[in-house]
Amino acid sequence: MDAGKRVRRDRSLEVEPLDNGTFAFTARLTDRSYGGSYEPTADSAVIHDFVVTGEVGGDDLRITRLTVDAPTHPYAQCPAVLPTCEELVGSALGSGWRSTVLERLRGRAGCTHVTSLLLSLTELTTLTF
């Protein structure tokens, strides 16, 4: 990588308890280029920005609502993986989450950025205590 050029990935996970014993969450993954070729006239440019929102409930933190958005992406085909993510509703974040995500989002049905973000939802198991 050339001097003065760098890329930064930020990932966040916010959890909010709801009145009915469930939890709302928002997870975000953003890649930003500094001094790269994406936006030569600007100091930085967002390359990828993916947001996952939803709700989980029960002892096994089962997904009851899930929405995945791609506000910023470099390729037109990037959002094509988003509808597949809805198939994860009903899945639990406990045992088996990783294999469920990898099975549903493999090959052309997936995207490394969205897959990485969805896999990180297991951190909810700690944040909901």
The Cα 1–Cα 15 span in angstroms is 36
Q: 103: closest CA among 95, 121, 115, 93?
A: 115
Burial class (CB in 10 A: 0-12, 13-18, 19+), 111: buried
| Summary mean pLDDT of the chain | 86
Residues 68-79: pLDDT tens digits?
Answer: 998 887 777 777
Return all residues near 86 (Cβ < 8 A) that are at least 6 apart.
66
pTM of the model: 0.85
The Cα 124–Cα 129 span in angstroms is 9
The Cα 51–Cα 28 span in angstroms is 4
Find the largest Cα–Cα distance for the chain.
52
Distance of CA 64 to the CA centre of its chain: 16
Residues 51-72: pLDDT tens digits?
Answer: 999 999 998 999 999 999 988 8
